[in-house]
Structure formats: structure tokens, C-alpha cells
Amino acid sequence: MSHLPPLPRLRRRAVIAGGAAGTVGTVGTVAASGAVEPLDAAALEPSPEGRRLFRHGVASGDPMPTRVVLWTRVTPTEASRPGSGRGPVVEVTWEVARDARFRRVVRRGTVTTGPDRDHTVKVDARGLRPATSYHYRFTLRGHHSRVGRTRTAPGATATPRRVRFGVVSCSNWQAGFFAAYRGLARRDDLDAVLHLGDYLYEYGPGGYGEGPDEVDVRRHDPAHEIVSLADYRRRHAQYKTDPDLQDAHARHPWIVTWDDHEVANDQWAGGAENHQPGEGGYRRRRAHAHRAYDEWMPVRLDSTARLGDGTRLYRRLRFGRLAEISMLDLRTYRSEQVETAAPTPVPAAEAEVSDPDRTITGTAQRRWLQRSLARRGSLWKVVGNPVMVTPVTFGQLPREITDAVNAATGVVPDDGFPYNVDQWDGYTADRRRVLRFIADHQVQNALFVTGDIHSAWAAEVPFDVGAYPLRGAGAVEFVCSSVTSNNLKDITGSPRRTTSLAVEAAILAENPHIKYLNFDDHGFCVLDLTARRAQMDWYVIGERSDRHTRIRHDRSFATRVGSNRVVEVDGPVR
């Protein structure tokens, strides 16, 4: 049986908040600062029993200067399968240390978990030092989990030389292997990973797989569309068995938000395109999905800020005076999309997307976002934005092309009117309000970092698309491609850089504020922020059906402080 290193004499007990449940942890003193030992995977490999007990890995998230969320899931018996509602209540120990061998433990506590929260463990480890790397692990019955590494954010008044984030979205298990996560796991230079939504997909086998024939590379569990709480728990569990995803979680803290597929496709406040009669009440389904998300993700949901229809996910995280990240929830409070309402003529649809009573953010969240943008403490106002804010307009393309692009991204409307109505283009009053606020308050360095549309974009967000470039832009937007989810190449079955070239050229020609577009590649991004510029590097993978596919750098774009202009740069950050 393993013995834990002794702690200094206890001076107090602290309540450690753990998602929906509070847990009590004993707290020691912070160790003296020093160099952090790198992870030694071979030396720190858990025992076979440790791997069995902690088979879904470890994770950390929402780093703040003196605290970070730690997460794992235990399987105390074989009957304690995810979603089963079975198994004993157990007590799990967690530790945070300055070294990978846990000779210098600085925080330790215990948490009780059981079937009521699907045997997940989530603690908010407090009393840590700013801008410091730590190692952490969990212990049950004397057996340890794998060792994870995390890092706290810089202090509020710190002036870091740079902060660097991995950026990902849209990871569909059935569409391929998660090589993009492998790319992130092999980096040692990231302060955190931003996941901008669609962490998992709700479809059953044969739904939204690879290629025009919907062929699954690997099949979802459970083998049907998920609706119940047990379903969502099982699907989260399946995703967290992926070795590349486990490695990426163990290597870096994550900052996450949801988009639609964490519940159902094209969801809004009162329903979803993929919620059908016979599947029960939509709000009940969403409550199941949100509860499972809270249990299975290393996220600090604000349980004190309920708005009547769910637990609040939108929140701010600050990285000294260099950057503040405002993570948005653009599904829980939004009005129904125009395209999912009854068919209307184009003029009526144009009026509806501009209706000031329709919203994508909800009034409370929009005002919160505006306050975030106006805050003076940090240079870069980064907005974790699940769906694209940049307006997109262009003329007609052949119907077979618009159908394919719509299937992949939703950017091109069938009838040619100029909006992606599932994104900010379908809620133009909210976008005008935010951009007007940026202009009226002279907000500088607003940077939207976005997922959702399975393609890569770099754009200037104009105050008035009709007056661009004379009137200029109020923000910049960088959009990451998908981890695996279908892009234009996948939908059409065409070779890479063939059909997409004409579509990209048409969009770029009619939208001079858009500087980069790639409809063909999957991968991840690295966002690097300094006092002079923000740079996004796009990395792409080869075949997503190949677990060992190669990863390479593709393109890099940057914006200088105060410019709201996007330019291409020669290579990735080093």
C-alpha cells in the first residue's frame, strides 16, 4: 500500500467547491518556489490497478492566480460503469505538488463521490501561487491515478512577456481519431487549451460520420442518439477514453465552453433542430446534458448565478495585465434561428434576423460581455466565441456547392441572402449593439477566438460591412478548424484543394474584411499574445482516419496592438 508524504501540522480546514457538490479538503502550507520537474511518463506510470480505477484520466481547468479545478473519474467496481447509477460511495484523495514525484506536496484534500455524480471527482484546489506549474494526482485504496500537470494564471497586476493557448473545437468521435489533441499534448509551451465547443456529438452510429456516405471511423457509445442523463454520461466517458485526449488534458489546464452538440444540433433556448417528438421535453434533455457536462468537464460553473434556465457557464479568466478571456455561452439564452422557424420570403427573413427583440447572447450575458470589453485591466480582450461573429456575404454559387458548404459550415444560405443564421449573422441586432459599444467606449484589442464551422478563418470584424474599409473594423476574429468534424472536402468527397478553392475565392472576393479561409483541413491552433501583437498559427493533420497521421504547420496570421488589422506572417511562434 502506498503511503502519502507527511504534511505540516494543519492550521485550518477549507471547503473545496466541486461543481454541483462541495467537498472538504485539508490544506497544508505552500512549499518554497523552485524549478518544476518535467513529467517522466515511464517512471510515473500508474499501477495496473491504478489504471483500472482511473480509466478516464485526469484533467485540470479554469486556472486562476491561486486556484485551479482538478478532475478525475473513479471506477471502484466493474458495476460502476458510467451512467449505470451503480456502485459504492468512496473517498478519493487528491494532491498538488511542486514536483512530479510528490516529494513537495503543497495541497491535499479528500472528496467523496458516488453514483449520484457518476463517480466523478471535481475540486477547486486553492492556495496556490500565481504563474506556477504544479503536478497533481488522485488516490483511491492506495492506488494512484496518472500524474497530471497544470499551471496557474499570472497575478492580476503581473505583466507576463507572453501567454500562449492551444485552440480547438468540433471533435466528433465517429469522424476520426484525435490527432489534433496529440499535437497539443506534445507541446510544453501552452498556458492553457481553449476548447470552443462541440467537445462531443450527440448522434448515434451512422449520424454525421466521415464522407458523403456517413461511414464511421469508430462508433459512438451508446449506439443511439443520446437523450437521457445516463446517455450523456456514457458519451462523455467514451470520449475520455481516447488516449490523445487524455494526454492533452493531463498536460495542460483547459478553458472550455459548449456549443450545440453537447446537447443537440442547432439548439436554442427552447428547442433544437435535432430534438424530435418522442424524445421527451427539450428542457429536461438540456438539463441532463448540462449536468453531465458539469460532472465530466474541468470547468468552474457559477452555481450562484442561475438565470432561471440553467447554470451559468459564461465567465472571465484573467492572465495578468496581458489578457482577459471572456468565455461565452451562445446556446442557452438565444432566440430560435430563422432557418428553423417556418419558411419565410427573403425580405421577411432579413427583417427577422435584424429584429431587436431577437438575441444570441441574452440581455444579461450581452451586458456582461460589454462590461468585459470595457474593463481596463488587461491589454487583449479575448472573447471565447462558440459561433462566428464576422459577417459573410457573397453572390450565388452552383446549388450543389452551396448544399455542401451548408452541410459543413452553414455559411452559405440556399437563397443567397447574406447571413449564416445560426451564428451572429442571424442575430444582427446583438452584433450591432456590441460593435456600437466598442466604438462608443473606444475599446481596443478586442479579439474573438471562434470554433464551430469546421474551417479556418482570419478576419477583421467591420463596424459596417457596407462601409468597409473606410470605416474600419472594431475587432479581429480568428477561427480554428475542426479536430475531426466534416469540412467541405469531406462533405463533397472531392480531393483536397480542388472544389474548395473556387468557394474560398468567391467568399474572399466579396468579403475584403476576410483575409484567410481554409475549407479543407482539420487540426488545431496556437494563439500567442504579447504586448505588441496577437498571432494565430494553424496546424493541420493528414488523414483523420489514421491514428498516427502527421501534423504540420499551415499558415499564420497576426494583428498588432491597436490596429484591428489582420496580416499574414512568415511562420509560427517559437
User: Which class for 48: exposed (0-12), middle (13-18), buried (19 or more C-beta within 10 A)?
Assistant: exposed
Residue whose grid cell is 489582420: 566
Identify whether the C-beta of residue 35 lies closer than 8 Å to the C-beta of residue 310. no
Identify whether the C-beta of residue 71 lies closer than 8 Å to the C-beta of residue 297. yes
Q: Which residues neighbour 404 within 8 Å (Cβ) at sequence distance 6 or greater?
A: 488, 491, 492, 499
Mean pLDDT for 437-448 is: 98
**Which of 117, 151, 185 lies at the terminal end of a domain, its last residue?**
151
Helix, strand, or coil here: 78? Answer: coil
Q: Which of 7-11, 162-166, 309-313, 494-498 has the highest mean pLDDT?
A: 162-166
- Which CATH number goes with the domain that contains 561? 3.60.21.70
pLDDT at 157: 96
Tally of structural domains, the chain: 2
pLDDT at 420: 75
Same domain, 175 and 142: no
Strands 473-479 and 456-462: antiparallel
Helix, strand, or coil here: 218? Answer: coil
- Measured CA to CA, the distance from residue 262 to residue 480 in angstroms comes to 18
Structure pTM? 0.89
Distances (CA, A) of 276 to 264, 265, 344, 413, 496: 10, 11, 22, 24, 35
Q: What is the CB-side half-sphere exposure of residue 321 using CA atoms within 13 A? A: 7
Strands 148-151 and 21-26: unpaired
Same domain, 427 and 510: yes
Same domain, 64 and 134: yes
**Which of 106, 125, 151 lies at the terminal end of a domain, its last residue?**
151
Report the mean per-residue pLDDT for the chain: 87
Same domain, 112 and 221: no
Mean pLDDT for 126-131 is: 98
Q: Which residue has the higher pLDDT, 128 or 310?
A: 128
537 within some domain: yes
Same domain, 329 and 258: yes
Total residue length of the chain: 574
Same domain, 483 and 525: yes
Same domain, 93 and 215: no
Give me the domain span that covers residue 364: 166-568
Q: What is the pLDDT of residues 101-120, one digit of tens each?
A: 999 999 999 999 999 999 99
Q: What is the pLDDT of residues 517-560, one digit of tens each?
A: 999 999 999 999 999 999 999 999 999 999 999 999 999 999 99
Mean pLDDT for 65-71 is: 98
4 within some domain: no
Same domain, 129 and 195: no
- pLDDT of 407 over the 90 cut: no
- Measured CA to CA, the distance from residue 367 to residue 326 in angstroms comes to 12
Same domain, 224 and 75: no
- Measured CA to CA, the distance from residue 363 to residue 317 in angstroms comes to 21
Same domain, 119 and 263: no
- Which CATH number goes with the domain that contains 65? 2.60.40.380
573 within some domain: no
Identify whether the C-beta of residue 167 lies closer than 8 Å to the C-beta of residue 449. yes
- Measured CA to CA, the distance from residue 379 to residue 375 in angstroms comes to 9
Identify whether the C-beta of residue 312 lies closer than 8 Å to the C-beta of residue 364. no
Q: Which residue has the higher pLDDT, 58 or 502?
A: 58
Q: Predicted confidence band at 20 (pLDDT cuts at 50, 70, 90)?
A: very low
**Which of 104, 128, 151 lies at the terminal end of a domain, its last residue?**
151
User: Which class for 448: exposed (0-12), middle (13-18), buried (19 or more C-beta within 10 A)?
Assistant: buried
Q: What is the pLDDT of residues 295-334, one digit of tens each?
A: 999 999 864 434 344 579 999 999 999 999 999 999 999 9
pLDDT at 31: 33
116 within some domain: yes
Amino acid at 5: P
- Measured CA to CA, the distance from residue 206 to residue 112 in angstroms comes to 38
Percent of the chain clearing pLDDT 70 (strictly above): 83
Same domain, 412 and 309: yes
Q: What is the pLDDT of residues 347-406, one digit of tens each?
A: 555 668 889 999 999 999 999 999 999 999 999 999 999 999 999 976 555 555 556 666
Same domain, 121 and 177: no
Amino acid at 301: L
- pLDDT of 184 over the 90 cut: yes
Helix, strand, or coil here: 93? Answer: strand
- pLDDT of 12 over the 50 cut: no
Element containing residue 307 per DSSP (H, E) = none
Cβ atoms < 10 Å from Cβ of 572 = 16
Helix, strand, or coil here: 137? Answer: strand
- pLDDT of 248 over the 70 cut: yes
75 within some domain: yes
Percent of the chain clearing pLDDT 90 (strictly above): 76
27 within some domain: yes
- pLDDT of 15 over the 50 cut: no
Mean pLDDT for 411-417 is: 42
5 within some domain: no
pLDDT at 146: 97
pLDDT at 206: 86
Q: Predicted confidence band at 284 (pLDDT cuts at 50, 70, 90)?
A: very high
Looking at the chain, the number of H-run helices and the number of E-run strands are 11, 26
7 within some domain: no
Whether residue 82 has a cis bond before it, omega within 30° of 0: no
- pLDDT of 3 over the 70 cut: no
Q: Predicted confidence band at 34 (pLDDT cuts at 50, 70, 90)?
A: very low
Helix, strand, or coil here: 469? Answer: coil
- Measured CA to CA, the distance from residue 331 to residue 268 in angstroms comes to 5
